[in-house]
Amino acid sequence: MSFNRWRFAWSGRPEMVDLFSNRFESLQGTVVGLRYYSGGVNPLEMVSLVREPQNPHDRNAVMVANVDGRQVGHIKKELAAAMAFVMDNNLAKVEGVVPYRTNNAFTMPVSLSFWGAEENRPAFTQRMAQHGLKFDSKGTMSKSEGSQGGRATKKVVTVPLSAEELKNAFDTLFDGLMESQDGEKEAAELVSTPLLPHQKQALSWMCACENSSTLPPFWEQRGALSLTCFSAKDSEGPRGPTGRPYGPGQNSDHHCPDPYQLPPREASSCAEMFGQVVEMSVETPQVTVSTDVQKKKPIVLLEDSDFAVALSGPTSGPKPKNKRSAKKTVPQDDLDIKLKKKKRATKQAILSKAAAEPCISETTEELSTRATLIICPLSVLSNWLDQLEQHVRAAVQLDVYLYYGPERNRSTSFLASQDVVLTTYNVVSADHANKSPLHAVRWLRVVLDEGHVIRNPNTQLERSWILSGTPIQKGVKDLWMLLAFLRLKPFHIKEWWNRVIQRPVTQGDRTGLLNLQTLVRCVTLRRTKTSTVNGRPLVALPGKAVCVERVELTWQERHEYELARSEGQSTVSRYVAEGTVLSNYADVLAILMTLRQLCCHPDLVAKMSASLSAATTPAELRQRLVEKLRAVLASGSDEECCVCLESVRLPVITHCAHVYCQPCIAQVVASERETARCPLCRSDITVSQLVEVPPGELERQEDGARCERWKTSSKVETLLGNLLRLRSEDPSIKCLVVSQFTRFLSVLETPLREQSFSFVRLDGTLSQKRRAQVIQEFQSSAPDSPVIMLLSLKAGGVGLNLTAASRVFLMEPAWNPAAEEQCIDRCLGQRREVHVTKFIVKDSVEENMVKIQRRKQDIVEKAFGSKNRPQDVSH
């Protein structure tokens, strides 16, 4: 995972579970009443503690449940009385682990840990003391209850992970998966395209996932791993109604499940706990971006074998509608799902054989089907259709329905009769408001493409897969969403996720990290473009020929450029002499920006007033800052916020003239206790001093620029020459013209129109809908379809697929070579070679861009290092 993506995962606060993060105390208690309940617990397993305020026997009752949610017993009443107060008043959260089992069939010990906000500690301690539970300074409980306390609390001393170690662990979290899978499975007959070895492997793995009734190693080895805290199965099975039934006054509080109401469990409930993630392509950590950026190649395999029969269980309802083996395989070669490639993209799929939820299935009347539902972003819909079309044998009648558009067929029986139903996230959520037929069908399988976008996982599924290139965008918490969707027991319950993964990981606990790694390794398949199978690369990419075309400035352009350069150079020299380069970094960047813009077109340069230090009054300073900020924005450049390393959103500028996203810098300020400092130059900053651009000003700037008479530039002419030549050679060739400066794209529109080129423009300002339209137009092979796309480097988002282009013109070098690389990859259809032309102005800043880029990265990393290591905050 990339540096930036994991940023919050180890920077603490933002991902902190909640306020319940300080361990107050641990004590040993007793679980009683075991003989009345069926929930089993093995030694060292975790249990959850649930208040039962409605319990007719004791309003203080605290119920104990195992990982499966089955009731184990109750906390002994004296202790329950103390816990009830603590829990009801939110003084602390309680977690239980059963340390060992006695040979006593009626009670068991439970080790309780209390977690709460520090300010609640006194109230907590006092209350516990009132109930005769006192804690000494060592944090062990003295008095009552704990006659065997010594055995229970084995304090494990761990050295917390450093931020660096955590980061490395995250970076490699998805590495090395599926190293030793050696099974292969051929595609079904209906697939016309032969599978590559790694596809057969993945297919074999996926089938195994869907069919398997045995536990993945994760569960089997739980004793050896530190994930010892789970009961994979009810080892004792349901005890049946041998105990006394609930009395007549029993109320049906659903927090208190009545074991006698539940249908008997399948012999092996562990079969339900099962899930897999397939990761499809890889990224290199941004920190180590180098020239040999890894190739990315998304892969998707779907396979539907005849396991429906094998899997039929009590809740599955009617099974296969016929014996036609509808198998679908989409070889990766052409499946060109373009991901939300932020810095680099990773593609993953997650599968789970969803649990048969007894309590839910009785409430809904749903139509079971053997159909597969595929949900994806709109932009890749056509990809799926294409791929199905392309790889399914023509003679086979595969019912694929596109559930999209106002006329879509909402009949549940119709949908259930399909083999594949394709739809988009937007349709699902729009439908959801009403009564969605999608939710009324019990799909055999659901596939979420770009699944990291899911919010509310409520579908009922037999088995589900998630494909995602960016399973984690902000932090580990993102994974929870996916696990929840998959019903990956027990982690779909927030409590277990928090206890086992989230809190330990955010607190730098090695065990937590190990748990996370184990979990991920067990449920994910990762495929990267550089993955090898039997020592051979998975994919041979078609080449891309990159050539650099040097651009000579005209005499007049050179004159203007040199003026700006010498002025900038003297400014920088002065900063160097003063040793203030760092604190004037924004100025340095601005100077470089101006030079870069001059290399493209003089109109890109925003007029800027003199240095900030010339400002005397606060109002004047503010005005200067606004101008500076506006200049940065108006250029349409890809200025990055160095907190999130993304393009700046909601830009604000500090008094030290550094530009950040408003939320990012606000968070920095909030997280530093005393005085907050600018991550770039360490000047003191406060939120109130942050300056935003007054709304509306940006537009005015743009309008003003447009009034002037259009003029050309050397770079524009060079591009135009290329385009005209191409058109004369082959008028159907499609080109991408890529720039970081949206204003440059605007400049280019004029000559393109003059020369009657048919073109479209794609930049960050387009709505998602319009964007999809533009892409579709450009991808069309109709004779009058556009042959040129003006593309802003940063416009890339989910599913940008521009395979129609065979030529790419990069108008200027980017700070971040990976961004260029990605942009090029987007149009790499696997069919033909792509020609890439980079324009570089001779004897200019552009030639030094790569070096400058490195230096900038250094500074950003330093800024980070000091921010993320608390002990360094004071220098």
Partner DNA sequence: ACCGCCGGGTGCC
CB of 818 to DNA, least distance (A): 60
55 is a site residue for DNA (CB under 7 A): yes
CB of 114 to DNA, least distance (A): 19
Tokens 């552009």 appear where?
Answer: 846
Q: Which stretch binds DNA (CB under 7 A): 67-75, 133-141, 182-190, 585-593?
A: 67-75
CB of 93 to DNA, least distance (A): 19
Separation of alpha carbons 811 and 839, rounded Å: 5
Residues 765-794 that bind DNA (CB under 7 A): none
Separation of alpha carbons 339 and 346, rounded Å: 8
131 is a site residue for DNA (CB under 7 A): no
Tell me the number of residues near DNA by CB under 7 A: 22
CB of 238 to DNA, least distance (A): 16
CB of 73 to DNA, least distance (A): 5
DSSP H helix total and E strand total for the chain: 27, 30
Residues 400-419 that bind DNA (CB under 7 A): none
Token code pair at residue 3: 């540096």
Q: Smaller CB distance to DNA: residue 261 or 429?
A: 261
Rounded to an integer, what is the distance from CA 423 to the centroid of its chain?
21
Residue 681's closest CA among 663, 649, 654, 652? 654
Token code pair at residue 50: 């649930």
With CB under 7 A as the contact rule, the residue among 138, 154, 155, 244 that binds DNA is 244
CB 445 within 8 A of CB 372: yes
Token code pair at residue 93: 């959260």
242 is a site residue for DNA (CB under 7 A): no
Q: Which stretch binds DNA (CB under 7 A): 54-62, 275-283, 335-343, 511-519?
A: 54-62
Residues 614-643 that bind DNA (CB under 7 A): none
Burial 225-261 (b: 16+ CB within 10 A, else e): bbbbbbbbbbeeebbeeeeeebeeeeeeeeebbebee
61 is a site residue for DNA (CB under 7 A): yes
Burial 300-329 (b: 16+ CB within 10 A, else e): bbbbbbebbeebeeebeeeeeeeeeebbbb
Neighbours of 493 (CB within 10 A): 17
CB 449 within 8 A of CB 380: yes
Q: Smaller CB distance to DNA: residue 73 or 285?
A: 73
Residue 222's closest CA among 476, 515, 484? 515
Q: Smaller CB distance to DNA: residue 80 or 605?
A: 80
Residues 432-471 that bind DNA (CB under 7 A): none
Secondary element (H or E) of residue 826:
helix 817-826
Rounded to an integer, what is the distance from CA 260 to the centroid of its chain?
41
Q: Smaller CB distance to DNA: residue 106 or 710?
A: 106
CB of 243 to DNA, least distance (A): 7
Q: Smaller CB distance to DNA: residue 104 or 162?
A: 104
Q: Smaller CB distance to DNA: residue 57 or 753?
A: 57
Q: Smaller CB distance to DNA: residue 73 or 829?
A: 73
* Helix, strand, coil percent values for the chain (each to nearest 5): 35, 15, 45
Q: Smaller CB distance to DNA: residue 65 or 659?
A: 65
Separation of alpha carbons 666 and 341, rounded Å: 26
Site map (CB under 7 A) of DNA, residues 105-124, x = contact: xxx-----------------
51 is a site residue for DNA (CB under 7 A): no
Separation of alpha carbons 149 and 722, rounded Å: 81
Q: Smaller CB distance to DNA: residue 20 or 36?
A: 36
DSSP assignment, residue 750? H
275 is a site residue for DNA (CB under 7 A): no
Separation of alpha carbons 621 and 440, rounded Å: 61
With CB under 7 A as the contact rule, the residue among 57, 151, 255, 393 that binds DNA is 57
With CB under 7 A as the contact rule, the residue among 16, 21, 58, 165 that binds DNA is 58
Angle of CA points 560, 566, 570, to nearest 5°: 150
Angle between helices 742-754 and 697-707 (to 10 degrees): 30
254 is a site residue for DNA (CB under 7 A): no
143 is a site residue for DNA (CB under 7 A): no
**Torsion angle (degrees, nearest 10) of CA 484, 272, 307, 317:** -90
CB of 260 to DNA, least distance (A): 12
Residue 652's closest CA among 601, 614, 686, 681? 686
Q: Smaller CB distance to DNA: residue 147 or 291?
A: 147
Separation of alpha carbons 270 and 226, rounded Å: 19
3-state secondary structure of 275: strand
With CB under 7 A as the contact rule, the residue among 12, 149, 238, 243 that binds DNA is 243
Q: Smaller CB distance to DNA: residue 86 or 271?
A: 86
Separation of alpha carbons 328 and 667, rounded Å: 47
Query: Within 676-791, where are the H helices?
Result: 697-707, 714-729, 742-754, 768-779
Separation of alpha carbons 511 and 519, rounded Å: 12
Q: Which stretch binds DNA (CB under 7 A): 3-11, 51-59, 344-352, 726-734?
A: 51-59
Separation of alpha carbons 855 and 174, rounded Å: 29
225 is a site residue for DNA (CB under 7 A): no
With CB under 7 A as the contact rule, the residue among 33, 320, 602, 764 that binds DNA is 33
Burial 717-747 (b: 16+ CB within 10 A, else e): ebbbebbeebbeeeeebbbbbbbbbbbbbbb
Q: Smaller CB distance to DNA: residue 60 or 372?
A: 60
CB of 500 to DNA, least distance (A): 26
Residues 6+ apart with CB under 8 A from 246: 258, 260
CB of 53 to DNA, least distance (A): 11
Separation of alpha carbons 745 and 750, rounded Å: 9
CB of 28 to DNA, least distance (A): 15
CB 246 within 8 A of CB 387: no
Q: Which stretch binds DNA (CB under 7 A): 58-66, 269-277, 308-316, 414-422?
A: 58-66
Q: Smaller CB distance to DNA: residue 72 or 845?
A: 72
Neighbours of 475 (CB within 10 A): 21
CB of 29 to DNA, least distance (A): 10
CB of 77 to DNA, least distance (A): 4
Residues 798-827 that bind DNA (CB under 7 A): none
Q: Which stretch binds DNA (CB under 7 A): 27-35, 396-404, 701-709, 819-827?
A: 27-35
CB of 492 to DNA, least distance (A): 27
Q: Smaller CB distance to DNA: residue 34 or 642?
A: 34
Across-strand partners of 660? 652
CA dihedral (244, 245, 246, 247) positive or negative: negative
With CB under 7 A as the contact rule, the residue among 27, 32, 600, 775 that binds DNA is 32
Q: Which stretch binds DNA (CB under 7 A): 33-41, 367-375, 442-450, 579-587?
A: 33-41
Q: Smaller CB distance to DNA: residue 82 or 800?
A: 82
Q: Smaller CB distance to DNA: residue 60 or 868?
A: 60
Q: Smaller CB distance to DNA: residue 74 or 370?
A: 74
Site map (CB under 7 A) of DNA, residues 68-107, x = contact: -----xxxxx--x----------------------xxxxx
Measured in degrees and rounded to the nearest 5, phi and psi for residue 760 equal -125, 165
CB of 81 to DNA, least distance (A): 8
With CB under 7 A as the contact rule, the residue among 26, 38, 60, 383 that binds DNA is 60
Q: Smaller CB distance to DNA: residue 102 or 172?
A: 102
Which residues contact DNA by CB under 7 A?
32-33, 35-36, 55, 57-58, 60-61, 73-77, 80, 103-107, 243-244
